[in-house]
Structure 1
Amino acid sequence: MTGTSMGALAPTTVDFHGHPLTIINRDGQQWLSAADIARALGYAASDAVSRIYRRNVDEFTPGMSLTVNLTVNGINGSQREKEARIFTLRGAHLIAMFASTKVAKEFRRWVLDILDKEAAPPVAPAPTFDPTQALERFLSDGRYFVTFKNKTLSLRQIDDDAFVIPASRFAAAIAQPGSGFTTPQLIEIVHAAASKLKARGRV
């Protein structure tokens, strides 16, 4: 592919052995320019990588490299477009396989590290625990008697028709109109109270 515009690309800079390399994000992939790869591999000539590519072009898949129009600084601060070759990270790794410089092996490892990070699945955020929501879900069905003592929360499920009344207010609750006690329940309470008093010798 040739002559593709770089206007929509968003470059970022990384460092390899003191050489700044511009990583270009394009179509969900990361790309490096041939000139940057040449400097990183220790070549004096900026076109060294392009020559390696031309000699071994049959080893590269079409998606590993393409030429684009880069915007560069010209004379007196002006800007101009220049055609340049760029490589995907896999393409850069293959270039380094053909390179004979001392840092080629280390450059290959460096590129593979970036590829590994790129291929790694995103880390899922740790699930948050909301104690209030958890308690609401737990208590959504049924009735519970809740106590909190010595920093310990205790829950005890109670019957749907249960009355939770302090002992000191039990008599007043029974006497209160509309208390909800049925006649059989009141009779049962009277019999139970009488039995208790008899056992204590009060009757």
Structure 2
Amino acid sequence: MGTGSRIIARIGVVLATVVVSAPPATAAPPRTPWPPPVTALAHDGVRATYDWPLRPRPRVVRSFDKPARNWLPGHRGVDLAATPGQPVLAAGAGTVVFAGAVAGRPVVSVDHPGGLRTTYEPVEPSVTAGRRVGRGALLGTVIVGHPKCAATACLHWGLRRDRDYLDPLPLVRAVPIRLLPTGTGQARG
């Protein structure tokens, strides 16, 4: 083996040693896809992980209306028909990160795995920040006072990932299953 070949071989050993001994990269926690893909709702437990924040299943009286830009008007959540004093439940397991007033309205916020945060207002909180809650845990009770509520009282239920507002309804709505015809193995449409 010539001198040049030995130098190249040593460089290869040094590079291999550096690559092998390098500390592993820290991976970011997995993010829950949004909207959840059909397979996630049907098979990966997303539907089973979240539930309605009111019992029985409430009527949606105002839908999600995401504005084109964050500073424009819109409706960054859904309004659910409620009654004053009705229990508000955590839609999913997580940690209460806020329970207090925002712009004079009582709000409870819960962080969930995958970078999601649900918000509930107007709610008289029965929890404090830092408390871990399971799906269905009592967060507080609905109080009257949500603006533009089309019912006796409304729970405004919101969902965010970072600063991005999302429609919370895909968390709890079942995805219809469509069967393809059998026989030839090809779908007709």
> TM-score normalised by the shorter chain: which range applies?
under 0.3
TM-score where L is the length of structure 2: 0.24
Tell me which of the two structures has the higher relative contact order, counting C-alpha pairs closer than 8 angstroms and 6 or more residues apart: 2
Which structure has greater helix proportion? Answer: 1
